[in-house]
Chain A
Amino acid sequence: MDFTLSKEHEMARTLFKDFAENEVKPLAQEIDEQHRFPRETVEKMAKYGFLGIPVPKEMGGQGCDPLTYVMCVEELSKVCGTTGVIVSAHTSLCVDPIQTYGTPAQKEKYLPDLASGKKLGAFGLTEPGAGTDAQGQQTKAVLDGDEWVLNGSKCFITNGKEADVYIVIAVTGTVEKRGKKMKEISAFIVDKGTPGFTFGTKENKMGICGSSTYELIFTDCRIPKDALLGQKGKGFNIAMHTLDGGRIGIAAQALGIAEGALETTINYVKERKQFGRSIAQFQNTQFVLADLATKVEAAKLLVYKAAMKKAEFAANPKTSYSVEAAMAKLCAAEVAMEVTTKCVQLHGGYGYIKEYDVERMMRDAKITEIYEGTSEVQRMVISANLLK
């Protein structure tokens, strides 16, 4: 086993770090305060291929592996959790399912524009009554001639309104499974601008405030028959598999937030003086930092391992990375919350002031324990595998 990064990955890390420092960090505080989607950053990321990192070159992507993508989300999130999740939701939740389940025609239609960042992607699964319980879906799709007619709504959709392409999960009928009537769930690709597809409330969130989170509303929204993604009735599997990938992206976001908070705090404790010496000289500070750094490193190994496992899936589609993704997300999200909370504590009163980055980082960290499967859901995934 070799933990050394390859030359490619080292260079990619330098690239993402430079980009994050120069282009993303200067806007982090402003977009948080103004709850403003950083369109200009998205355009710059598109220019440099950050929105199509794991997409093959022949489809307009960068042809890199999942680890490179993870490092991108990680470095962006070190300075701005919002920017990290924009890339993660686009890549893992929209580009990836089209790449995995799309027909050749769908791939040709969508992937070049999505991978080049000309178009941005989003994913709609959650509904007011269906979060963790995906079977609670109410949004319906009914085939009418050559078109599907969508009715219902989705909530808490990352990149909502800003995205051009949406993966939407909807009920297409009922099926009997083990003598029980179950909802038949399917996945669709819906373009922004389709008549009957509108946006509802913009959510006013605790953190990742620059990220655009909207309700999607479908009212007799007619989409072509071939907008069905994958097989009819396989939507639940598609959604779950998509979330496995998404969880690696969110794990990378959480890891980045934790690393960013730790770096900022290491600098701060060296400068902050109390009782005539820097607070870095107090053993309490040293021990807290040692524990946090150890936890961050553990999270990093799990996140990178999950990315490597996803790369194996590309070579062998029978490979499952659900458990690795769940462990990475569970660990990284909880580490992010603990690290940011303790970093605020080490900052003392200043940590509670918005001028200091750790205040934002602590708010941003919380969502990583909730979206794309709460920490409790990750524990369900992990334990189900242990006890099967």
Chain B
Amino acid sequence: MKIIVCIKQVPDTKGGVQFNPDGTLNRAAMLTIMNPDDKAGLEAALRLKDEYGAEVTVLTMGLPKAEDVLREAMAMGADKGILVTDRVLGGADTWATSTTIAGAIRNLEYDLIITGRQAIDGDTAQVGPQIAEHLGLPVISYAQDIKIDGDSVIVKRQYDDGYHMLKAKMPCLITALSELNDPRYMTPGGIFDAVKAEITTWGRANLVDVDDANLGLKGSPTKIARASDKVRKGSGEKVNLDAEESVKYIVDKLKDKHVI
């Protein structure tokens, strides 16, 4: 079985977020981590590899330094890493990103593609299903559990009011939730191998069946008006009253604001 896992290097939520003048993220200037949903997707793939035997290829699109996230995935147990990087691909929204990734995947053989549900920087949850659409594959989103049954996958899909059990013939695409599993750590020996391993680097020229009009910032229908870091709340109002007066004070405030 051949599994492709799409992963993304995202800003570390513990670090500061920085922006370019055009409103896009200044990824080069930020501390980064592997997107949590993608990491769960990778773990799911590695568990399928442990259980059924599989070759796991991790693929990312980004700046040259996104190579780091591929090496991390390989130190966890992925077999191959592919970096899609090119200046003309920069500033891509979900449409241009999914077009690019689908164009890269057309070079590869696969039974299963796993992506994270969404990245913690953009929170769109669009790229995974769009890749499936470009490649004409069935997609099962929000996977909580994945099992292989012959040439099909059986997926438990999370829903607000419960879960769905879905079966799909491979090849197909699954989007994973970070709740899917606890991703494994790297191993020290895995790190040493991963740093030495060769990463395949592809640019625009390697993308198959894609139109330049659908790539990069120019090919992105989404225009970002403004992006911001989490707005920090003020310190609020502090009062120092005894218990009874405090309750009255809060109730009055809530009434003023028509909450109660």
- Does A18 lie within 8 Å of B195, measured CB to CB? no
Task: Say yes or no for B249: interface residue by CB 8 A criterion.
Answer: no
- Does A49 lie within 8 Å of B195, measured CB to CB? no
Q: Which residue of chain B lies nearest to A71 when distances are taken between CB atoms in the complex?
A: B188
Residue with the highest number of chain A CB atoms closer than 10 Å, among B75, B185, B188, B195: B188
Residue with the highest number of chain B CB atoms closer than 10 Å, among A6, A18, A64: A64
- Does B185 lie within 8 Å of A8, measured CB to CB? no
Which residues of B49-81 have CB atoms within 8 Å of chain A's CB atoms?
71-72, 75
- Does B185 lie within 8 Å of A19, measured CB to CB? yes
Chain A positions within 8 Å of B186 at CB level:
11, 15, 48
Q: Which residue of chain B lies nearest to A49 when distances are taken between CB atoms in the complex?
A: B187
A8 to B187, CA, bound (A): 11
Chain A positions within 8 Å of B184 at CB level:
48
Contacts A11-B72, A11-B75, A11-B195 known; A72 to B188 CB distance under 8 Å? Answer: yes
- Does B189 lie within 8 Å of A15, measured CB to CB? no
Q: Which residue of chain B lies nearest to A18 when distances are taken between CB atoms in the complex?
A: B185
Which residues of A1-18 have CB atoms within 8 Å of chain B's CB atoms?
6-8, 11-12, 15, 18
| B186 → A minimal CB distance (Å) | 5
- Does B189 lie within 8 Å of A11, measured CB to CB? no
- Does A64 lie within 8 Å of B185, measured CB to CB? no
Task: Say yes or no for A239: interface residue by CB 8 A criterion.
Answer: no
Contacts A7-B195, A11-B195 known; A61 to B189 CB distance under 8 Å? Answer: yes
A64 to B189, CA, bound (A): 6
Task: Say yes or no for A68: interface residue by CB 8 A criterion.
Answer: yes
Which residues of A48-65 have CB atoms within 8 Å of chain B's CB atoms?
48-50, 53, 57, 61-64
A11 to B188, CA, bound (A): 9
Chain A positions within 8 Å of B188 at CB level:
12, 15, 48-50, 53, 62, 64, 68, 72
Task: Say yes or no for B159: interface residue by CB 8 A criterion.
Answer: no
- Does B192 lie within 8 Å of A63, measured CB to CB? yes
Contacts A11-B71, A11-B72, A11-B75 known; A63 to B191 CB distance under 8 Å? Answer: no
- Helix, strand, loop or mixed for chain B's interface? helix
A50 to B190, CA, bound (A): 12
A374 to B152, CA, bound (A): 64
A291 to B184, CA, bound (A): 39
Which residues of A99-117 have CB atoms within 8 Å of chain B's CB atoms?
none
A11 to B68, CA, bound (A): 9
Q: Scoring B residues 190 to 216 as 1 if CB is less than 8 Å from chain A, else 0, what string do you get?
A: 111011000000000000000000000
- Does B187 lie within 8 Å of A62, measured CB to CB? yes
| A348 → B minimal CB distance (Å) | 26
Chain B positions within 8 Å of A61 at CB level:
189
| A367 → B minimal CB distance (Å) | 26
- Does B192 lie within 8 Å of A8, measured CB to CB? yes
Chain A positions within 8 Å of B192 at CB level:
8, 62-64, 68
Q: Scoring B residues 11 to 52 as 1 if CB is less than 8 Å from chain A, else 0, what string do you get?
A: 000000000000000000000000000000000000000000
| B3 → A minimal CB distance (Å) | 22
Which residues of B77-124 have CB atoms within 8 Å of chain A's CB atoms?
none
A11 to B71, CA, bound (A): 9
- Does B71 lie within 8 Å of A48, measured CB to CB? no
- Does A11 lie within 8 Å of B187, measured CB to CB? no
A292 to B184, CA, bound (A): 35
- Does A15 lie within 8 Å of B195, measured CB to CB? no
Chain A positions within 8 Å of B75 at CB level:
11, 15
Chain B positions within 8 Å of A18 at CB level:
185
| B196 → A minimal CB distance (Å) | 9
- Does B187 lie within 8 Å of A48, measured CB to CB? yes
Residue with the highest number of chain A CB atoms closer than 10 Å, among B184, B185, B194, B195: B185
- Does B185 lie within 8 Å of A15, measured CB to CB? yes
- Does B185 lie within 8 Å of A12, measured CB to CB? no
Q: Which residue of chain B lies nearest to A65 when distances are taken between CB atoms in the complex?
A: B192
A72 to B72, CA, bound (A): 17
- Does B189 lie within 8 Å of A8, measured CB to CB? no
A6 to B184, CA, bound (A): 23
A72 to B186, CA, bound (A): 13
30 residue pairs from A and B, CB less than 8 Å apart:
A6-B195, A7-B71, A7-B195, A11-B186, A11-B191, A11-B194, A11-B195, A12-B188, A12-B191, A18-B185, A48-B184, A48-B186, A48-B187, A49-B187, A49-B189, A50-B188, A57-B189, A61-B189, A62-B187, A62-B188, A62-B189, A62-B192, A63-B189, A64-B188, A64-B189, A64-B191, A64-B192, A68-B188, A68-B192, A72-B188
* B residues at A contact (CB < 8 Å): 71-72, 75, 184-192, 194-195
Q: A15-B185, A68-B188 are in contact. List 18 more A-B contacts (CB 8 A).
A: A6-B195, A8-B195, A11-B71, A11-B186, A11-B195, A12-B188, A15-B75, A15-B191, A18-B185, A48-B185, A48-B186, A49-B187, A50-B188, A53-B188, A62-B188, A62-B189, A62-B192, A64-B191
